Structure 1
Amino acid sequence: MSDERAEVVWDGTANSYRPGPGWRDAIAAIDLHADADETLDPVTYEVIRHRLWTINTAHGETVTRVSGSPVFASLDFNMCILTEDAEIVMNAPFIQYLNIGAPYTVKFIMEHFGDRPGIEEGDVFFGNDPWVGAVHQMDVLFAAPVFVDGRLFAWVSNAGHQYDLGGVVPGGWPQNAVDVYHDPVLLSPMKIVERHELRPDLERMYLRQSRMPELLALDLRAQIAGCQAAGAAIVAMCDQFGAPTVKAAMRRVVQSARTAFAAKLRRIPDGTWSDVRYLDEALPGDRHTYRVAINVHKAGDRITIDNRGSDPQQEGPLGITFQALAGSVLSAVAISMLPEQLFAVGGAETNIDYDVVPGLLNTVTYPAAVSAAICNVVTHLNLMQTCIGRMVAGDDELRRDIVAPGPDYPVPVVSGTDDRGQFFGSAILDHFAMGGGARSSQDGVDTGGPSWSPLTFLMNVEAVEQWFPFVYLWRRELEDSGGAGRWRGGVGLAYAWTPYRARSLDVYSFSGGMSMSGFGAQGLLGGLPSPPARTTVKRATDLLEAFAQGRVPGSIDDVAAGEVLMLRGKSNAVALGPGDVAESVISGGGGYGDPLEREAARVALDVREWRVSAAAARGVYGVVVDAAGEVDGAATQRERAGIRARRSAWAPGIALGRDGGPSDPVAATGEPPRRVHEAIVARDEGAERVLACERCGTVLCGYAGNVKHHLLAGAAALVDALPRANDPADYLDGEDVVLRSYCCPGCAVLMSVEVVRRAEPAVCEMRLAPPGDR
């Protein structure tokens, strides 16, 4: 540990809570049920493993049925089952990062409350402290101990976005919060249910914070009921199979994930993979970006995460806590490396170390504002997903599970009163219909939702209109909204609404990353990013006249208006009156691989089915489509040759400046060539181990070098490089953010694409460690 972190105290006060080396001594007096039947047979194990999965999904259904919230109806939650000492056994297939903080919260409870007020059968604890376990205050975390034969056998937990917990903005996203005291109320963990009885004093205190206490009371009971139902199901399973048998199965689930993750890591060469993103707007009106970085160091069967290269935390809702960072890391591991483990991520967590610097944007210290920064958790998840995709791309088996990131998450929030004077205020969650990222062997799913929330769905418009006083005008998939690549990202969605029976209706926006100013989803291994999101407000429109004439517009261009507003990534309330229209756009997933390697027939099919425009087919994919929608073979061959010729005229990447420094030569190993990237192999060249182009054989650099220094690099303005792009100059001042592309100097195959400030050196995204340097 370096000197800058030697005095850090991870106690959940100024810095996040992380159990110290003496944590187990602090819980020694708790009577833990740890008996396990080591003779567990494989059939019983599989039955119990899938029963645990079913308990988690039923837990989610219980929460949805009890709550009346549109947020819970969209499955904006997650739940998990933990061991008696708070190790995750199995997560649920909902929003992955939401309940990753459960081990921290439960360990905090055990360490601090085991003696007084005690942990007893029938208790339920809750809290929303982001420095203990929640990702932000609106995602309230509940945890309940499960007792068998009078001993603490397991824990069940859920975390879900409650409708409104106060703060200066309805719904819990205060864009103007300069610190945590402007956020919704922050509650350290406490016992809300004591020996099966809901504590009325704490419930009254809790509901007093909300603009909608009746709905919040249902949310509270829904999450309590979920914990109680899941706990009862575990007890019933112990009655059926015997507690030692169930405990043995739980331990085997954990060990299976640990073993699988370690084995997969050993298949990957040692090294460091890094990525960088920018976050827009510390506060509304701020026109600057802020840098965040993730570095993944892999050695043997372990990885270490550090956050060096990130900017210091700022005043305003921009940063995330350590718990949220850890949640983004483990979520990316679950979906990219362990899909066969049914989200049993606890075992994998034991192979991940963190060497993070507090006070940076991705490990903020108290009292930073964090509630409206929640979308930047998705940004960090996408960062980690990109690093993992690059790590495993060289392994023929592991690369089958690669998914390019989906877009960062921009959300419109509406609030006001309906025609009965009742308050409403929450996010419209249609953005869950984002396009999916491309895979290594197939296109992303169109409007298929994020990979980090497998069961999330797009609610029917009628259901949404029951909760909010507006009506939809359209929902439609968007041409050119997926990232281009050898495999295309899934396309995204545009949807629009207008007030209906509303006394007042305000719309806000909040977002993560550069999802409004720059791009949506990062491409992978030569794939291009998807375009950014957009929220457009048109006021003083002709909509009511169109209705009177029997016309319903089908796009925002069909609506004439006296005033047009483009909302920023963080915006304050914009009032909508009768006939005013708001349209939100969410883009698709990132592309995978060089777009010029996509089969021309696939591009033509995309044009015919309105996923890709003819202009983008030609300009991005180099495919010329005739009036009948068929490929013009000769013109396509000429177009693609022209694009490759223009790439070949780019300057060497070293001209951008060094990031990562030079490396010493690595001696030849005598091993056969090994792919380490979609288009790069490691092989011997004379007496040296080198990295070479897999397509044409051109030697790029030494094995431990920064390959980007030896590729050709070209930069383009985002508005010129991406279809449907917004102009960053409309959002940012004095920051020249560009799309920078890198290709092989021999055959011009595209190997990497990054969105960076023009003045910054190439991001050293892969640096392999010399063999034997573990």
Structure 2
Amino acid sequence: MQDIALICTQGFADVLTLARQNRADPYALHVPASTWPQRLPPEWRIEARGRIDAAGTEVEVLDVDGVLAALAALPRPPKAVAMSLLFAHRNPVHEQALAHRIREHWPDLSVACSHEVLPQDGEYERTLATVEAIGLHGPVPETIDAPTHTDPLTQRLEQLADRIQQCLVAKAVSSVVREAMDCAAAIFLPDGRLVAQARTLPLLLGSLSPALAGLLQECPISGMADGDGYLLNDPWHGGTHLPDLTLVRPVCVHGVVVALVACVLHHQDIGGIAPGSVPTDATSIQQEGLRIPPVPLYRAGVLDAPLMRLLRANSRMPDNLEGDLAAQWASLAQGAAEVATLWQSERDVAGRCIAALAASEATARAALAAAPDGDYIFEDALDGDGLSAEPVRVSVCIRKRGDRAVLDLTGCADQTRGPVNASRGAVQAAVAYFARMLAPQAACNDGSLAPITLHTRAGSIVDPTFPAALNARTNLVKLLANAFLGAWSRALPNQMPAPNAGEAVVLSLGGTHADGRPWLLTEIIASAAGGAPSGPGGSGVSTDVGNARSTPAESIEAQAPLRIERVAVRVGSGGAGRHRGGDGVVRVYRLLHGSGSISYRGERHAIVPQGAAGGLPGSPAAARIERADGRVEPLPAKARAQWQAGDRLVIETAGGGGWGQPAAKETSA
């Protein structure tokens, strides 16, 4: 505690606690609570009324006197003040006015203004830099220990995959990639086995291997040449849902394909009946957008222009689509060149990759062998399928024998009419997450999957038959990952964390600017981590297969006629326990003009995250539209809706499950 005060825009007092919601280690089993509430307690954070918009225009007068009164009412006189107001870097008038008045009242007080410290977009990064400028340092950045079985070559390949990912994010057009990093990149052997991947989003990373398998069935290596690029999104050829377009490029050395580089990116719109291509009321894949089986998009480095015209014609945001595909191609071109150089400069790269696969397999087998044999069951359910509120059963049985395990999902519900089904390619992300959890010391390659067999039932939600709708598969995959961990906790009691909240809201908003231009954005909103034997769960963090970043309010307001009125921790929503579950988040949006569409894909409105070891469940999620005329319309867990200027959309995500018996006062609260 350093007696430092933070002045922020009203509704943004938790900006440091929430950070960008992602984690450095995408396969972290437990996400701990932030230490910012101890470093900068809530009573030392002052919310200032008054707003500057994305154009740098004052749209609400600053309440200077209110801020001064709040400063005077602090528990003790502050030693320093950090000031970080939205869009201060575009117009510093509010920060300058406050700094002037503060210095008049407290001449010796050190004041740091965000527009001077870091004059760029991004309220979290600017706030962090500003508090650090006056001596209040945040938590030590999370680091990832190098896996003990990773040789130097594998580490170099992982670094190459990270650079492909970084190039993809840097060159992307859509904010869901540039800001949220809803994309992934990896490197494969010619037979489709994963040898290295970027540290990013498990939901997409784990689905790249099935996509490669689907591609190689249709487009054999023998027909590939340098500069070719293959595109797909079809869930029955290894894809997940239609907005996720996978692009693959062979790596050639002396005319021979030695490897494949691949990336997948969530595109803003690929057609269908709803903006964003995520209609929560879809009943078939044809309603969700353009379905693309594996096809060549590039030959010898030359774009198939007619195919690109077809893709553009099916998107509401054709420039974004083409720009993001260009980013994918540029990142793969860079990656292919670097991988080819590595292949030529190192000895026996293929053989060493195969050895790394074997080492990961051995590590996973050892972890399985150390656990007791048995059948371990965990059950959960989705809050309906988007058309009905009837719970949709999620049932996992891990049949562990010796150094092998069967993940039996045959008890899951029949495929639904609504779009909550998940292709086997999507389900594989949860399987890969479980495998990485078993062997965190191993390199992240397909070796750790070798001792694991997936059993599904055709016609079920985890193995749907054509033409099932499946755009809302995210939360099913999250519940599967949670269920795998919950089942495994039966094998290793009191060692595993409580279930995470099991929810990642995927929100697509669209409409028209005042000048007639369409706008469309997709945001991914995290919930919370479960408590664990080691401590409480993190609040407002991406967990298990999720790891997308939050989109800054400043980025959203710069793209669309929206005002983000609040981004905060949903205090008290985590389950009670010896170690509490993390709290969810609250996000409030106001539409400023015209009308717009809402596609809300949530979860946990009815079926709450479970506790563990005597811990209590987390609180349910909720969403509602607060109409300008005073009416309040609750939204179900999956919904499409329209809103008008002045309406507010309020989203409250679920809390994580608590771990361990709570104290008596928590139980009675």
What is the TM-score with the length of structure 2 in the denominator? 0.74
Equivalent pair of 2:598/2:643 in contact (CA under 8 Å): yes
Mapped to 2, the partners of 1:524 and 1:120 lie a distance apart of 53
SS at match of 2:581: coil
Structure-2 residue corresponding to 1:493: 585
Instruction: Read off the aligned partner of 1:124 and give its amino acid letter.
Output: G
Offset at 1:292? 2.2
Which residue of the other structure, out of 169, 176, 184, is the alignment partner of 1:78?
184
Say if 1:130 and 1:321, in contact at 8 Å, map to a contact too.
yes
2:151 to 46, 50, 59: 46
1 CA distance for matches of 2:431 and 2:647?
41
Counterpart contact for 1:410–1:569, Cα < 8 Å: no
Q: CA deviation at 1:200?
A: 0.8
Separation of aligned partners in 2, 1:592 and 1:248: 45
Cα deviation per residue 1:490-514 (whole Å; 9 max; x = unaligned)? 22211112123x33223232224xx
**RMSD value, Cα:** 2.3
SS at match of 1:371: coil
Indicate how the Cα distance of structure 1 residues 283 and 472 shifts in structure 2: closer, same or farther if over 3 A, else same: closer
Choose the corresponding residue for 2:479, options 355, 372, 379: 379
Q: Take 1:161 and 1:563, find their aligned partners in 2: how far apart are those partners?
A: 34
Per the alignment, residue 625 of structure 1 pairs with: none
The answer for the alignment partner of 2:204 in structure 1 is 98
Q: CA deviation at 1:162?
A: 0.7
Kept in 1: contact 2:182–2:266 (CA 8 A): yes
Tell me if structure 1 keeps the 8 A contact 2:225–2:255.
Answer: no
Structure-2 separation of matches of 1:355 and 1:131: 17
Deviation for aligned residue 1:269: 0.4
The residue aligned with 1:475 is: 567
Evaluate the alpha carbon distance shift between residue 288 and residue 273 of structure 1 in structure 2; reply closer, same or farther with a 3 A threshold: same
1:370 aligned to 2:470? yes
Does residue 412 of structure 1 match 2:503? Answer: no
Note the C-alpha offset of 1:361.
Answer: 1.6
State the Cα deviation string for residues 230-264 of structure 1 (Å, max 9, x = none): 2211112223324x1x3233223322211111000
Q: Which residue pairs with 2:417 in the alignment?
A: 315
For the 8 Å contact 1:136–1:374, the answer to whether it is kept is no
- Residue 251 of structure 2 contacts residue 261 of structure 2 at CA under 8 Å; is this kept in 1? yes
CA distance in 2, matches of 1:583, 1:293: 31
CA distance in 2, matches of 1:115, 1:470: 48
1:403 Cα deviation after fit = 6.7
Runs of 4+, deviation exceeding 4 Å: 42-45
- CA–CA distance in structure 2, aligned partners of residues 338 and 467 of structure 1: 42
Any idea what SS the aligned residue of 1:131 has? Answer: helix
CA distance in structure 2 between the aligned counterparts of 1:511 and 1:183, rounded to whole angstroms: 18
Partner residue, 2:617: 529
For residues 522 and 46 of structure 1, do their structure 2 counterparts lie closer, same or farther at Cα, with a shift above 3 Å needed?
A: same
Are positions 1:423 and 2:518 aligned together? yes
Does 2:431 correspond to 1:329? yes
Which residue pairs with 2:595 in the alignment? 504
Amino acid at match of 2:404: R
Cα separation, 2, equivalents of 1:91 and 1:437: 26
- The residue that corresponds to 2:20 in the other structure is none
Q: How many Å separate the matches in 2 of 1:375 and 1:490?
A: 18
Structure 1 pair 308/115, CA: closer, same or farther in 2 (3 Å)? closer
Q: Residue type of the partner of 1:214?
A: D
Report SS of the residue matched to 1:372. Answer: coil
Q: Could you tell me which amino acid in structure 1 is paired with residue 370 of structure 2?
A: R
Report the CA distance between 1:107 and its aligned residue. 3.0
Q: 1:585 aligns with which of 625, 633, 652?
A: 652
Amino acid at match of 1:332: F
* Corresponding position of 1:66: 171
The residue aligned with 2:329 is: 224
Summarize the alignment of residues 381-400 of structure 1 with structure 2, pairs less than 5 Å apart: 381-393=481-493, 399=495
Q: What does 1:138-217 correspond to in 2, within 5 Å?
A: 138-217=243-322
Higher RCO, 1 vs 2 (CA within 8 Å, ≥6 residues apart): 2
SS in 1 for 2:237: coil
Q: TM-score, normalised by structure 1?
A: 0.64
Number of corresponding residues: 522
Aligned residue for 1:474, secondary structure, equals: strand
- Evaluate the alpha carbon distance shift between residue 43 and residue 184 of structure 1 in structure 2; reply closer, same or farther with a 3 A threshold: closer
Residue 276 of structure 1: aligned partner: 379
Residue type at the aligned position of 1:80: A
After superposition, give the CA deviation of every residue in 1:574-625 in whole Å (9 maximum; x if it has no partner): 3132x321111112322222224xxxxxxxxxxxxxxxxxxxx7242x6xxx
Task: Determine if contact 2:482/2:544 at 8 Å carries over to the other structure.
Answer: no
SS of residue in 1 equivalent to 2:418? coil
Structure 2: gaps of 5 or more residues: 1-146
CA-to-aligned-CA distance 1:196-245 (integer Å, 9 cap, x gap): 11111111111111001001111111112222222211112223324x1x
Contact 2:384–2:390 (8 Å) recurs in 1: yes
1:290 aligned partner: 392
How far the C-alpha of 1:171 sits from its partner, in A, is 0.5
Amino acid at match of 2:398: V
1:265 aligns with 2:368: yes
Contact residue 499 and residue 610 of structure 2 kept, 8 A: yes
Compute the displacement of 1:84 (Å): 2.1
1:485 partner letter: G
Task: Give the secondary-structure state (helix, strand or coil) at the position aligned to 2:246.
Answer: strand
Pick one of 94, 109, 113 that aligns with 2:219: 113
Q: Is the 8 A contact 2:148 2:442 kept in 1?
A: no
**Aligned equivalent of 1:567, options 635, 639, 659:** 635
Question: Which SS does the other structure have where 1:100 is aligned?
Answer: helix
CA distance in 1, matches of 2:158, 2:470: 32
Larger Rg computed on CA atoms: 1
Q: Judge conservation of contact 2:429–2:545 (CA < 8 Å) in 1.
A: no
Percent sequence identity over aligned pairs:
25
Query: What letter matches 1:93 in structure 2?
Result: R
Instruction: Please list, as runs of the form range in 1=range in 2, the aligned pairs for 1:435-454 lying within 5 A after superposition.
Output: 435-454=528-547
CA distance in 1, matches of 2:312, 2:573: 42
CA distance in 1, matches of 2:360, 2:624: 45
- Which one of the candidate residues 292, 303, 314 is aligned to 2:405? 303
CA–CA separation in structure 1 for the residues paired with 2:613 and 2:228: 49
Q: Equivalents in 2 of 1:583, 1:214: separation in Å?
A: 30
Alignment check: 8 A CA contact 2:595 2:642 kept: no
- Distance in 2 (alpha carbons) for counterparts of 1:90 and 1:44: 13
The amino acid that maps onto 2:589 is W
Structure 1 residues 524 and 145, CA, compared in 2 at 3 Å: closer, same or farther?
Answer: farther
Amino acid at match of 2:650: E
Give the corresponding residue for 2:552: 460
| C-alpha distance 69-140 of structure 1, shift in aligned 2 (>3 A) | same
